[in-house]
Amino acid sequence: MSNPAEPLTDDPIALQAMLAAERAENERLRQIIRELQRHRFGRRAESLPIDQLLLGLEEAEQIEAENFAREDTADPAKREARTRKRRANRGSLPAHLPRIEQVIDIPDKVCPCCRGMLHVMGEDVAERLDIVPAQFHVIVTGRPKYACRSCEEVVVQAPAPSRLVEGGIPTEATVAHVLVSKYADHLPLYRQSQIYARQGVNLDRSTLADWVGKAAFLLRPIHERLFERLKASGKLFADETTAPVLDPGRGRTKTGQLFAYARDDRPWGGIDPPGVAYIYAPDRKAEQPLRHLQGFVGILQVDGYAGYKALAERNAVSLAFCWAHVRRRFYELAQSGPAPIATETLARIAELYKIESEIRGRSPEERRTARQERSRPIIEALELWLCGKLALVSQKSKLAEAIRYALSRWAGLGRFLDDGRVEIDSNLVERSIRPIALNRKNALFAGSDGGGEHWATIASLIETAKLNGVDPFAYLPTSSPASSPVTRRTRSTTCCHGPMPQRHSRPWLENSGYSESMSFHDTEVMEWLEHRSRRRLSFGRVRCGMRRRGCDRCFTKNPPLIRWSIQEIRRIAIRLARRRIRPAHIIAWSLWRRAHQATARQAHLK
């Protein structure tokens, strides 16, 4: 565009050139305005999904059902006719669902005519679909303790099973439900907290976030293994999408990136299972895919992002570009107004997709043969036609940009002609990032770069499960091993000489055996110390008034805590002192001093 401050020339030819340039620039600006209007007010998808059509019909179907219900109430004949039609068309319920049988029987089984007994001659069975909302259960795990009647120091007990969250309350199924709700059903944690509160279970959002972080850490090796398996294949899809992340100190979010790498060999009969792995990156620089795909050799199907060109320069990766991205640019021009060149281009690309739909599912050799015979002539003619049209249109117009976009990537766009494994577009990975966009819309942003990595880890496993037709809730692995029959071995296992009369029905802390690596939980120690302080006991011999009635905490001559390490007793004493349990922490300090003295005496004797 010319500068308004410059004086106009009197040369007619120059004026005509300036007028042509101004008109081309105005047309380009009008095209940009139309695209912005369509982006703001129109639909963005190139094709209207069937779900969107059905969404518009929901209200009409509800109104129609209400009218039918009103007619059924007024006319029993119409109600009976609709009931018969509904029974014939509803189909059968899935056989894997559990059946709860209900029998509606007559109260009197005596014949109303002859007063004889009635017998069963058949029955009418009807099935209805019922639903039980999500219910919480509390799993109580007991581990019996076994003691020897002869040796007071022998206590044998099964080891406690490992937990996903040590010291926490959730089971693996509970955490998996939170993950699936957040990353598959797109429910933010604060909404899940509100749902659980309606059932009387108060789980704060921060608690759920802690569970998600712990699960993401434990699932990270599986995510890494999944990505390594994907990189071992000879063909991958790649794409990226934005992931808003909080940027502390700046008062706003920064734009992170989730790179998606997918594999799906089902269109040409491949045996490798489909999968997708997301990798979080703080930016979209070309070094990110270089770092992610280090060691990958094969064909990479991508869009027009220039960051992947550095991979092709290493001669280890061949880029196959996406025809859907080429088509999209011409589609936007055709939707904005009359565009004969764009419309003709769309018609020719549609012929390519028609061929692809016919050969989908065939072997790579058959697909390659069909493409060479039918698709190659179309592409060669399209290239010549676009080159001719590019010379006729303004080089600053959006149409020229769309044509140059296609011609500059023509070698990669024709890669699918020579390899039957390559798809015509990268729509597979485009579909894989749609759940990321939905989650981004509901959760708005990730809290940090670490949250973006958690997002990538868990979403990879969930979307891979969905690609394989597996329920994500059943796919997520558990981290709790089965209970092992191994028992804790004590020092006194070899000193047992016979049975000993049982004095108490329950084991007690003082008679528990110990090993070099054994340590009791602090709460048990505090309970023992508090009990001793309440009874005001000395630590020579036991003087507890409950001894004859079976005190399970005081029946011993010497306190076993003296056998503990000095550091462990000192740590417990400091914790008790912080809790301001004065009698208990005085006892603990006394025990620590006695343990220190006993250790010194043993060292002197040695």
pLDDT (average), residues 185-195: 89
Using the predicted structure, report yes or no on whether residue 25 has a pLDDT greater than 80: no
Rounded (5°) CA angle 420-277-352 = 30
In 502-524, which positions are buried (b, 16+ CB within 10 angstroms) versus exposed (e)?
eeeeebbbbbbbbeeeeebeeee
Look at residue 441 in the predicted model and tell me its pLDDT.
75
- Of 299-313, 418-432, 456-470, 551-565, the least confident: 551-565
Residue 328's alpha-carbon distances to 41, 322, 342, 346, 560, in angstroms, are: 18, 10, 10, 9, 78
pTM of model > 0.75: no
Q: What is residue 504's predicted lDDT score, i.e. its pLDDT?
A: 34
**How many CB atoms neighbour CB 161 within 10 A?**
12
- Model pLDDT, residue 592: 55
Strand 298-302 versus strand 155-157 pairing type: unpaired
The 3-state DSSP class for residue 117 equals: strand
User: For residue 407, what pLDDT is reported?
Assistant: 93
Residue 12 has a pLDDT of 79
The tens digit of pLDDT for each residue in 243-296 reads 888 776 676 778 888 999 999 999 998 889 999 999 999 888 888 888 899 889
Q: pLDDT at position 286, please?
A: 84
Q: What is the pLDDT of residue 73?
A: 77
Beta bridge partners of 280: 258
Mean pLDDT of the chain: 75
Task: Tell me the pLDDT band of 382, cut-offs 50, 70 and 90.
Answer: very high
Q: Give 151 or 141, the one with higher predicted confidence.
A: 141
Cα separation, 545 vs 535, whole angstroms: 8
pLDDT band at 231 (very low <50, low <70, confident <90, very high): very high
365 pLDDT band, cuts 50/70/90, is very high
Mean pLDDT check: name the lowest of 87-96, 443-452, 545-554, 565-574. Answer: 545-554
